Each structure stands twice: as structure tokens, then as C-alpha cells.
Structure 1
Amino acid sequence: MTSFKEFAQACEVIEETSGSLDMTSLVAELLDRVSLEELPVVTHFVMGEVFPAWSSEEIGVGAGILYAALAKSSGLSVNEIENIVKETGDIGKTAVRALGKNSKGQATFSSFFTEAHELSILEVFQRFQTISKASGKGSQAARIKNLQYLFNSASAEEVGYIARLAVEDLRIGVGEGIVRDAIAAAFNVPVEVVERGFMLTNDLGLVATTAKQGGTEAVSELDLQLDRPIRMMLAQITPTLEATLSDIGEAAIEWKFDGARVQIHKDGDKIKLYSRRLEDISNSLPDIVESVKKYVHADSAILDGEAVAIDEEGHPRAFQDILKRFRRKYDVHSTAKEIPLTLNIFDIMYLNGKNLIDEPLVKRRELLSGCVENSDSIIQVDKQVITSDLEKINTIYSEALKAGHEGIMIKNPQSPYSPGKRGKNWLKKKPVMETLDLVVIGAEWGYGRRTSFMGSYALACHDPETGRFLPVGKVATGFSDEQLSEFTALFSDLIIMESGKKIELKPEVIFEIAFEEIQKSTNYESGYALRFPRLVNVRDDKSLEDVETIGRLEEMYKLQRERS
């Protein structure tokens, strides 16, 4: 059984290492060293996550709970903990300093136990599982008690990484790309095989254990599984319709609906619905569940679609209305009558036990049309036209806009379904100013009449290799005082630390940001800044996997320069 101290020591070495190749080698050594039972836990831990992305388990620890646990463990007050946070700027360093001070004689750093007791990796994970299951009255106290147990059981080497894992922000620079390559190196499996296994399972922990047990052959046999959602295929903005048609010739044209993505898993009469964030929303959408039961004629299937909220005249309602349906936990049937949804299905990834993601789009659409019975205003396969006629495409585009939707999708008819990938096989055309989906990583308290509100928000893009979020600027326009009040309440549970007016936030909330242009900048770690950014929407339907990558910003910057 591997001690958590060994994991912490490995993290310390990785944290001090520069260069992705050296980091990959260190992660590979760590993965190879732990037991089969520990491997999936370590695979997720080293990326700063406790549970796989598809899991419904959430640790649910915010700054308030963490500070309270550190206060109880150290004998310091919560106010003293907050002051240390302001000094260190790091919750891990704060934990080490707070527990090291031991100002009131509180028992810390394993003094409750004999020297023979060492926290194991699995024991830490099991405590986090217990924390995630705490609910109802007394849940906050239970979370604090379990964190306190971990802090009081840990050594100085361990406690900082326990604190960071509790808020799922390990800060050692290891992302999916490094872990993917480390699995390949540790268990002698080709990187492309590991990548495909991850694409099909959305779980690098599962891929790692499979690689350790059965090597390349076993990983190659990993497949889609009902009730385990996969990442959804993504689209990028088309530079021009002319350029797109020049690249792919004939294109499959569909409306881009003004709605929210839904992934549908059907296993007999058992229906599961997942949001773009891969959250189980089945109980919130009973009308969609019943529609799938009635109109999808398949023993088993995994489908991709868009749910649209419709008004009395058949036009799409505001995006926030859709989110009301997705978030609703009580009185869902009355809300369904108040805000009816139409499900537009546009792809199928699995049918009657067969994986279809490698089939071309035209074949998948044929199979989709064969198993979904259209029912207007309830469920339907969205209309698709394959053409190379630019005038015809523009007509479809105009029709989509007239109907109140966002624009059109332009797809390569021969393309496979690539989970989580954003490439040239799926493109979108919209008339609005270009937008970016960026994660909020910080804020500042406002001035004057906005003193009690978080008045501006720091934005970041994603570096998939390191897993880090790189700052690209701040947004302080596009929202009302009412929204600022709502945002302040929303982000209060995500505060990691404060220093003066500046606040560091747990990366979780996605802002859709419009801007005038992307500029080179030495002020931000990404190397880029947005000119005149403004808030368009809060994308509650999107997850951290949807955050724009640094590579995407680089592409957009180059394209912008080519146009000018």
C-alpha cells in the first residue's frame, strides 16, 4: 500500500520540474510504482481531480469549509487562516504554515497517532468520498470533520497537497496531455491507443488500469459504455463559407439551434440524459425522457442533440429559460408545462451494441433517421442538406436566423464523431460578434456603489498539456447591478483566497465573452489579451473541457491578422 507521503513527495518534485518531457517521465514513474487499486486514484489526483469527469460525485469543498477545517486543526481562528492566505497566495502553503504554527497547542501533524500510522493514498481518497456523500443537515460539519481528520493525520510534506486536492487545484502543471503520454510510457502502449481509449471512456484512470493489466490489446478493446457519458464533439467558427467549401467540397448543412446540448443514453426503457457538462439531468427533464422512450426505436443508443425552449409562437425562448429546466430539482412537471422543450437530434454514436463513432457522418445520419420517429414540437431528427451550392447554403442560413436560431453548422459528410475534439470537420457560422468561452479565475471588489460586489472578473484560457489556466484579461462590462449581485453570491462559494481587493476563484464558471480583437500582450501569462471584452452569457451548460485553448487563441490571432 502506497503512503500519501510518497505521492506528496512525487508532486513536490514534479512541481519543481520544468519541461513537459521531464514531467511526463516523472508521472510515468509514479503511475508505474503504485498498485492496480491505487492507479486510477493517483491518475486523477495528479491532475488535481478527485473523481473522473463523467462521475456524478463531487467533493463540494469551498473556501469556507476548508478554512474552518484548517482553523479547527491548527487552533488558529478562521480570520488568522484568511490572513495567512493573503500572505502566501496559495492554499497549500497556507495549510503548511497554519498547521506548523500550532499556536494553541492543538494536536497536528500526526500527533493523534503512533509513528506507525501513515496516511495511505486510498485512505485519503476514501475520506474524500465520504465528504462527497455528505448531504442534508449537518453535511457541512461532516465535511469539516473529515478534512480535520486528514489534516491531523498528515505530515508537513502531505498537508499542503491534501488542501489543494480538497479544492481540486493541485498546481503542479500536470494536465491530460502529460498523463496520457505518461500512461503510454509507463505501460508501453502507443500514445494514439491511449488517446482513443480516453476518447471512448472519458476516464484516464480506467485507461491506466487497463493498460497496466492488459497492455495495448486491452486498451484497444475499450469502448463506449451506456450510462458513462463521453465528451461531445465540438465546432469552431468558419473563416468563410467559400474557404470551407474549398476544403471539403460538398458540406452537410444543419441549423445551429439556440439551445443546450443533450447527450441521450437509452438502454431499453432506461433513459439517461446528460448536459454538456456531463451532469445527469434526467430527473429535471421528464418530458424529454418520455419522448425518447416513445420515439427512439432502439434497444440501446447514445444520441447527440440540442434541447430548445419554445414560446407560444414556436420561436426559441431565452437561453436562461433552458437553464431553468436543466437546473430544476423540484416541481419539474409544472416547470415542463411552463417551459416546454423540443429535442432536435443530429447525431448517433452507438446503436444496439455497436460503436458508430468511426462511421462517416452520412452513415450515422442514415442510422439515426432509421431509429428516431419524428414528432413535431417534441422530438425530431434535425433537417440536413448536403450541398456545395453557396447560394443554397446562404438561404438555409437566412432561414435559421429568421426562425430565431443562431446560424448554421457546416459539417464534413465523411467525418467521424470525435469526442471532445474541436476541428475543421464541424464548423459554425453565426452573425454575432465572435465570442470565446473563458473560465473565471479571479475577481476584484468594486468601488463606490459597487463596493459590496465583485466588480470585475479575471478570465483565462486552457493549456491542455499542463492543465493550467492562462490569464487573458479581465471583463468589467456587460452586466447590471442585479447580475453583479447574483455573481457575487455565485462566486462566494468558489473563493480560494483574498488579498486586499483581489480575489482568487476556483476555476469553475464559464463566461461567454465577446471582444473586438485579440492582441499580443506581455501582461498576461497566455501572451494574449482581449480588446474591449464584454460579457455575453454565463454558460452554465459548459464545463472546463469547453474552455478555449491557448492553441485556439493563437489560431484566431493568426486568422485575424490574415484578414486585416
Structure 2
Amino acid sequence: MTDFKEFADVCNQIEHTAGSLDMTEIVSEMLLSVSSEELPVVVHFVMGDVFPAWSTEQLGVGPSLLYTALSRSSGLPLKEIENLVRTTGDIGETAIAALKKETRNQATFSSFMDDTPSLSIMEVFERFNNISRTNGKGSQTTKIKNLQYLFNSATPEESRYLARLAIEDLRIGVGEGIVRDAISKAFNVPVGEVERGFMLTNDLGLVAVAAKEGGVEAVSKLGMELNRPIKMMLAQVTPSIETAVNDLGVVAVEWKFDGARVQIHKDGNNINIFSRRLENVTRSLPDIVEAVRGNVKADSAILEGEAIAVDENGNPRAFQDILKRFRRKYDVETTVREIPLILNLFEILYLNGEVLIDMPLSDRRDVLVGCVENSVRLKVDDQVLTDDVEKVNEIYSAALKAGHEGVMIKNPNAPYSPGKRGKNWLKKKPVMETLDLVVIGAEWGYGRRANLIGSYALACFDPDAGTFLPIGKVATGFSDEQLAELTELLSGLIVVESGREIELKPEVVFEVAFEEIQKSTNYESGYALRFPRLVNVRDDKSPEEAETLERIEGIYLAQKSRS
């Protein structure tokens, strides 16, 4: 069994390594050194995750619970733990500082100072597993006891990374790109094969085990499985309809609904529905479940569509109403009556055991139409093939008149690329361009708003490093009611407080409008937003779906070319 200290030592080495190629080499060597049982755990751990993205398991350890565990492990008052967090600015450094205090019990203190490893990687994983499966009365106490056990068995270096892993924020700059390349290097499997395996499974741990045990052949046999959601293909903004048609030629045009995207897995009469964050939302959407059960004529299928909320006249309701449906856990029947949904299907990825993502869009469309019976609550959305700009403009105008966002313009010859954003799917909306950015920090307000969070630090995403790069703040245009809702939403994500400033776990995505993007040395991204303002809180999007630095740079260069 591999000691957790070995993992912690590797993390420390990576944390002090600047180049991605060097990081990849270090990760590769670690993957080679562990057993097949440990391998998927290490793959997820090194990216700061405990479970794969598709898993329904959630650790559910917030900062307050972690502070309590550190308090009990160290013997320090909770207030002192909070002060240490403010001083160090990092929960990992706080763990070391707290656990070195002489108030720690003598047996544990001796083990800590001797630097004697007593934890294995699998034991840490099992403790985290216990925490995730604990719920109901007394669950908080049980979770704290599991964390106490880990801290009381840890060396200094281990405690730093245990604390960070407990809130799934490892802070060493290793993302999917580095791990993908490390798997390729470690087990001599082409990067393209590793990437495809990841696309089909949404689990780099699973891909790593296949690569270790069976090489290229085993990785090439990996496929999609029902009830294991995969990342959804993404669209990028087109500057104009004319540009899109000129670039693609004949295009497939669909309305862009103002709704919530879902991925539906049908296995006989068993239906599971996943949000674009890959959360299982089946229990909140019983009307959609019944519509799929009655109208999709397939033994097994994986489909995608957009769920929209409608009023008594069939007109689209506000996006926030859709989120009420997705958030609802209790008295779902009442919400179903109050906010009915319509599902517009536009994709099929899998049918009766056959993976379809390599087929051209036009062929997938034929398969989709062939296995769906349209009804009032569920239908295949309308699609038009054309190379006529005027025709696309007509469809665009009709979508806006019906109260929707605009149009999707797709390449009819393109395969489905899970998790990828590119020119095969383009979106056109009339409003000022917006960005989806992650909230990574905030500030408490002044005066009568002193108990409300009133300014929000925003970041874009670096997918290779798995990190979020600051790009600015949004602070204007909020009502007291909105600030109260956001304060409630974000309070449970506070990692560090220092005076009025707050560091937040990167979980919440804001859709932000802006006047322009400017070069800036004030932010790590190298850019800043001019006159940003909040458009929406995108509960349906994961932090990894935030705008990438590459996209920010592209918008900046496009601005320069137009000026």
C-alpha cells in the first residue's frame, strides 16, 4: 500500500514546479508507482477531486465543518482556527500551524513531530468515502470524527493536503490536460486515445487503469455507459450569422431556447436525468421522466435536450423559474403544477447499445427523429438545413419573437465532441456579449449592507492547470434582495475571511455583461473587464464551463481588429 505521505510529497514538488511539461513528468512517475487499486484514486486526488465528475457521491465538507475538525484535533478554540485561516490565507497552512500547537494530545503530537507516516492513500479515500455516505441525524459528528482521525494520523505535509482535499481545492495547478498527458506518457498510450477514452467515460481514473492494465487496446475498448453522464458538447459565440454561414457553408439551424440543458439516460423504463453540471436531477423532474418514458421508443438511449418553463399560454417563463424546478427537493408535485416544463430534444448520443457520437450530426438527427414521438410536453426541436443567410436571419427573428435567446448554427457533418467548445456549434444572441465567470472571492458591504456580500471577484478557467485566473470584480446594480440571496448562496462557500475580504470555493458561476475587455497587470489572467454587471446566476453551469483564458484572449483580439 502506498503511503499518503508519498502523495503529499509529490504534491509539494508539483506546487513548486512552474512548467506544465515538468508537472506532467512528475505526475507520470507517480502514476507508474501506484497499484491498479490506488491508481484511479490518485488520478482524482491530484486534480483536487475525491470522486469522478459523473459520480453521485459528494464529500460535502464545508469550511465550517473542516474548521471544527481542526479545532478538535488540535485542541485549539474554533476562533483561533478561524484566525489562523485569516493569517495564513490557506487551509493547508492553517492545518499545519494548528496541529503543531502544544495543545495537541501527547500521543498524536509525538507521531506528528516524528514525521512517521501512518496513513495509506486508500485509507484516506475510505475515510472520505465514509464522510460522503454519512447523512441524517448525527452525520455532522460522524464526519468530524473521520476528519479528526485523518488529522490525528497525519504528518505535517500530509495535513496540508488532507485539509485541501477535504474541500476539494488542492491548489497545485494540475488539471485534466496534465493528467491526460501523464497517463499517455506513463503507460505509452497515444494522447488521442486517452482523450477519446476520457470523452466516452468522463473518468480519467478509469482510463488510467485501462491504460495500465491493457495499454492501447484496453483504452480503445472503453465506451459510454448508461447512467454515467458524459460532458456535454459546447458552443462558442459567432460574431454574426453571415460569418457562421461563410465559415460552415450549409448549416443546421435550431432555435436557442432560454432553458436548462439536460442529458437523459433511458434504460428500459428506468430514466435518469442529469443537469449540465452532471448532477442527477431526476427526482425534481417527474413530468419529464414520464414524457421520456412514453415518447422515446428505444430500449436504451442517451439523449440531450433543453427543458423550458412555460406559462398558461405556452410562452417561455423566466430562466429563474426553471432553476426553481431543478432545485426543488420536496413537494415536487406542487412545483410541477405551478411551473410546467417542455422538453425540446436535439441530440442522441447512444441508442440500443450503439455509440453514435462519431456519426455526422445530420445522421444522428435522423436517428433521433426515428425514435421519438412528438407530444405536447416532449418533441424533437425543429431544424433547418440551409446556406442562405436570409433564411437563417428569418429563423433567428422568429426565435426572438417567440421569447427565446436566438439560434444555434451547427455543422451538419460534425461528430459530437464531449466537453469540447469549437466552431462546429455556434450560437447567436442579440444581447451584448456576456461571459460565464466563476466567483472566487468577495467583500462584505458597508453601512446598512455590512452583513451582505456586496462585491464579487470573478475568474476565467485554465483547463490544463485546472485553475481559475482572476479577471475583475462586479459590484454594481444589485438590489438588497438580490444581495441577500447571494449572501445566503455564498456564505457556505467561504474558505478564508480577512477583514472585509472573503475567499470563496469556486463553485458559483455568474453570467456577466461588459463593455470591453482590457489588458491589465492587476489580475493574473492579464485582462480586466470594463463596466461589468451581473446578468444571471448560472446554477446550471459548473465552474469548469466558465470562459477559458483562450476565449478571453480571442474576444480581446477581435475587439482590437474592429477598432
TM-score range, shorter chain: over 0.9
Q: Does 1:543 align with 2:542?
A: yes
For the residues of structure 1 that align with 2:333 and 2:284, how far apart are their CA atoms? 9
Shift of 1:479: 2.1
1:376-420 Cα distance to aligned partner (Å, 9 max, x none): 3x0000000001111111111111011100000000010111111
Tell me what 1:3 maps to: 3
Deviates more, 1:481-490 or 1:278-287: 481-490
- 1:287 aligns with 287
Task: Give the direction of change, closer, same or farther, for the CA distance of 1:428–1:112 in structure 2 (3 Å limit).
Answer: closer
SS in structure 2 at match of 1:101:
coil
Which residue identity lines up with residue 538 of structure 1 in the other structure? Answer: V
What amino acid maps onto 1:56 in structure 2? T
Gap change, CA 1:499 and 1:108, over 3 Å in 2: farther
What value does the CA root-mean-square deviation take over the aligned residues?
Answer: 1.4
Cα 1:102/1:531, change in 2 over 3 Å: same
- How many angstroms apart in 1 are the aligned matches of 2:281 and 2:438? 22
Match of 2:50 in 1: 50
Say yes or no: does 1:69 pair with 2:69: yes
Deviation of 1:112 (Å): 9.7
Q: Is the 8 A contact 1:373 1:380 kept in 2?
A: yes
Matches of 2:147 and 2:331, distance apart in 1: 35
2:3–2:117 contact (8 Å) kept in structure 1: no
Can you list the C-alpha shifts for 1:180-212, whole angstroms capped at 9, x where unaligned? 000000000000110111111110000101100
Offset of residue 333 of structure 1: 1.7
Counterparts of 2:10 and 2:152, CA distance in 1? 21
Deviations 1:124-169 (A, max 9, x none): 0110111111111211111111111100010112101000000111
Match of 1:103 in 2: 103
Q: Output the amino acid matched with 2:93.
A: K
Distance 1:504 1:77 in 2: 22
Structure-2 separation of matches of 1:301 and 1:104: 56
**Secondary structure at the residue paired with 2:336?**
helix
Partner of 1:39: 39
Deviation by residue 1:339-388 (Cα, 9 ceiling, x = unmatched): 11000000111111111001000000000000000013x00000000011
Aligned pair 1:358/2:358, yes or no? yes
- 1:501 — aligned with what? 500
User: In structure 2, what is the equivalent of residue 510 of structure 1?
Assistant: 509
Q: Are 1:456 and 2:439 an aligned pair?
A: no
The CA distance in 2 between the partners of 1:289 and 1:158, in whole Å, is: 45
Q: Does the CA-based 8 Å contact 2:102-2:109 persist in structure 1? A: no
| In structure 1, distance between residues paired with 2:498 and 2:164 | 18
2:90 matched residue in structure 1 = 90
Deviation at 1:105, TM superposition (A): 4.5
Q: Does 1:60 align with 2:48?
A: no
Distance 1:184 1:159 in 2: 30
Contact 1:478–1:536 (CA under 8 A) maintained in structure 2: no
Conserved? CA contact 2:406–2:428, under 8 Å: yes
Distance 1:552 1:402 in 2: 30
Residue type of the alignment partner of 1:531: R
Q: Which moved more, 1:460-469 or 1:135-144?
A: 135-144
Tell me which residue corresponds to 1:126.
126
2:431 maps to which residue?
A: 432
Q: 1:81 to 1:374 in 2, by over 3 A?
A: same
Partner secondary structure for residue 196 of structure 1: helix
Does structure 2 conserve the Cα–Cα contact (< 8 Å) formed by 1:109 and 1:153? Answer: no
Letter of the 1:64 partner, please give it.
S
* 1:424 positional shift: 0.3
Partner of 1:197: 197
Residue number in structure 2 paired with 1:346:
346
Pairwise CA distance, 1:115: 9.4
For 2:165 and 2:427, how far apart are their aligned partners in 1? 37
1:501-530 deviation line (CA, Å, top 9, x unaligned): 111100001111111111100000000001
Cα separation, 1, equivalents of 2:344 and 2:110: 57
Structure 2 CA distance for aligned equivalents of residues 422 and 478 of structure 1: 31
Q: 1:58 to 1:106 in 2, by over 3 A?
A: farther
Question: Partner amino acid for 2:473?
Answer: K
Displacement after TM superposition at 1:109 (Å): 4.8
Any conservation in 1 of the 2:512–2:533 contact (CA below 8 Å)? yes
The answer to whether the aligner puts 1:386 opposite 2:385 as a matched pair is: yes
Structure 1 Cα separation of the partners of residues 276 and 4 of structure 2:
34
Partner of 2:422: 423
Contact 2:4 2:117 in 1 (8 A): no
Q: Secondary structure at the match of 1:362?
A: helix
Counterpart amino acid of residue 96 in structure 2: V
Quick one: which amino acid aligns to residue 557 of structure 2? Answer: K
Amino acid at match of 1:493: G
Tell me the CA shift for residue 117 of structure 1: 6.9
1:243-282 equivalences in 2 (<5 Å): 243-282=243-282
In structure 2, distance between residues paired with 1:525 and 1:152: 36
In 2, the alpha carbon distance for the partners of 1:105 and 1:332 equals 49
Contact 2:113 2:155 in 1 (8 A): no
Cross-structure match for 1:188: 188
Q: Once structures 1 and 2 are overlaid, which stretch shifts more, 552-561 or 253-262?
A: 552-561
> What residue is the counterpart of 2:29 in the other structure?
29
Hey, what does 1:141 align to over in structure 2?
Answer: 141
How many pairs does the alignment contain? Answer: 563
The question of whether the paired residues in 1 share the 8 Å contact of 2:305 and 2:345 is answered with: yes
Q: 1:531 offset after TM fit, Å?
A: 0.5
Matched, 1:371 2:371: yes
Look up the SS of the partner of 1:291 in the other structure: helix
Q: Which runs of 4+ in 1 moved over 2 A?
A: 102-117
TM-superposed CA distance for 1:104, in Å, is: 5.7
Q: CA deviation at 1:478?
A: 3.2
CA distance in 1, matches of 2:256, 2:441: 32
SS at match of 2:100: helix
Instruction: Give ranges in structure 2 of 5+ residues lacking alignment.
Output: none
Q: What are the superposed Cα offsets for residues 527-557 of structure 1, whole Å, 9 maximum, x if unpaired?
A: 0001111111111111122111111111111
Q: Which amino acid aligns with 1:500?
A: G
Q: Give a deviation string over 1:29-63, Cα, whole Å, max 9, x none.
A: 00110000000000000001111111111111111
**Maintained 8 Å contact 2:112/2:153:** yes
Q: Residue type of the partner of 2:350?
A: Y
Q: Which runs of 5+ in 1 are unaligned?
A: none
TM-score (norm 1): 0.98
Specify the code of the residue in structure 1 equivalent to 2:324.
K
Instruction: Indicate if the aligned counterparts of 2:360 and 2:413 stay in contact, CA closer than 8 A.
Output: yes
Q: d(CA) in 1 for partners of 2:330 and 2:25?
A: 49
Q: Tell me which residue corresponds to 2:400.
A: 401
Alpha-carbon distance change, 115 to 25 in structure 1, aligned in 2, over 3 angstroms: closer
CA distance in 2, matches of 1:203, 1:562: 40
Alpha-carbon distance, 1:334 to partner: 2.0
How many Å separate the matches in 2 of 1:207 and 1:54?
14
CA contact (8 A) 2:512 2:534 kept: yes
Relative to structure 1, the CA distance from residue 348 to residue 113 in structure 2 (aligned partners, 3 Å threshold; closer, same or farther) is: same
Greater shift in the superposed pair: 528-537 or 101-110: 101-110
Distance (whole Å) between structure 2 residues aligned to residue 246 and residue 116 of structure 1: 65
For 1:449 and 1:112, how far apart are their aligned partners in 2? 46
Work out whether 1:213 is the aligned partner of 2:213. yes
8 A contact 2:342–2:378 mirrored in 1? yes
Any idea what the Cα deviations from partners look like across 1:292-313, whole Å, max 9, x if unmatched? 0100001111001000000011
Aligned-residue offset at 1:246: 1.2
Matched letter for residue 472 of structure 1: I
* Letter of the 1:514 counterpart: A
2:16 aligned residue? 16
